Amino acid sequence: MRSRLNITLLAAGAALFASPVFAQEAPEENVLDGDYLTVGVGAVYVPTYRGSDDYVISPVPLVRGHFKGVDINPRVAGVALDFIQDPKDAKIGFSLGPVATYSANRAGRIKDPVVRAAGKLDPAIEVGFNAGITAYKLLSDYDALTVSADVKWDVNGAYKGMTVNPAISYATPLSTALVGVLAVSARRVDNDFASYYYSVTPLQSAASGLPVYRAKGGWDSVNTSLLLAYDLSGDVRDGGLSLFGVANYSRMLNDAKDTPFTSIRGDANQWIIGGGVAYTF
């Protein structure tokens, strides 16, 4: 699906520059009509691990584009491809393609000495597929509502399990220079994922003093995000420099909330704030 919006934190910020909000109607020279590339860099204020109440600032690179009929969509520490191309005047669009991400949850930068004593975890390399459907022109001639999901498996021998991330996003222009996206998403994890990240083994308990805990799979979080992108030339369709910002709230659920890593040493309420600059050509 051409110009599909993504809603994963700062990755979604980059996607705004190629929003279907503007791709369907454009000036004579529209950088989004052909092959293009958006590259950017940002910084985010994030928890040191999922469930932590300690925060750090981390740099985030961003890449998005369209090349030879394939959309390149950003993910947090990853990328997704979309092989389905929709007509510009389509009222309904579809997306389907592979996705790959990298996760370093509790693999480093842990501030809490108790959690750090429990030991670092191996980073995960996740691969899978993404699929979605978008409805255009709902409340205006330029807005879009997208329902999508990523399904991924760890192939690096870390948690060795599967996750499913369904999401809903609504995008609309606030002016020719400013685009906003409101998004809601969730994540469901299997027993392997929950055991790896949320369980406290007897060895981890002895090393950290945390109680032994056995976690099971299920819904582990729900998220809501507000994203804004502003084109410095005054028109997102002509490319060039843009600024983006994001605010995300996540609530840990079920065993992700009850694990001692969250309930004793962290916080079930998770915040992410960030921003950056991007260039489209």
Q: What is the pLDDT of residues 44-92, one digit of tens each?
A: 999 999 999 999 999 988 888 888 889 998 888 899 999 998 887 889 9
Structure tokens at 191: 């027993």
- Whether 189 has a pLDDT exceeding 90, the answer reads yes
Does an H or E element contain 203, and which? helix 202-208
- Whether 140 has a pLDDT exceeding 80, the answer reads yes
pLDDT at 19: 46
Local confidence band at 157 (pLDDT 50, 70, 90 cut-offs): very high
Average pLDDT, rounded, for the chain: 89
Neighbours of 238 (CB within 10 A): 16
Does an H or E element contain 81, and which? strand 78-82
Rounded-to-integer distance, Cα 246 and Cα 62, Å:
13
94 or 76, which is more confident = 94
- Whether 23 has a pLDDT exceeding 80, the answer reads no
**What are the percentages of helix, strand and coil residues in the chain, rounded to 5?**
15, 50, 35
The pLDDT tens digits for 206-248 are 999 999 999 999 999 999 999 999 999 998 778 889 999 999 9
- Whether 114 has a pLDDT exceeding 50, the answer reads yes
pLDDT at 223: 97
pLDDT at 85: 87
| Average pLDDT score over residue span 137-143 | 90
Return the percentage of the chain with pLDDT > 90, whole number. 73
Amino acid at 105: N
The pLDDT tens digits for 169-187 are 999 999 989 999 999 999 9
pLDDT at 28: 53
Q: Which of 177, 240, 238 is nearest to 26 (CA)?
A: 238
Domains present along the chain, CATH in parentheses: 9-280 (2.40.160.40)
- Whether 4 has a pLDDT exceeding 80, the answer reads no
pLDDT at 15: 41
Local confidence band at 6 (pLDDT 50, 70, 90 cut-offs): very low
Q: What does DSSP assign to residue 62?
A: E
pLDDT at 230: 95
Rounded-to-integer distance, Cα 238 and Cα 11, Å:
21
Rounded-to-integer distance, Cα 31 and Cα 15, Å:
14
CA 118 to chain centre: 28
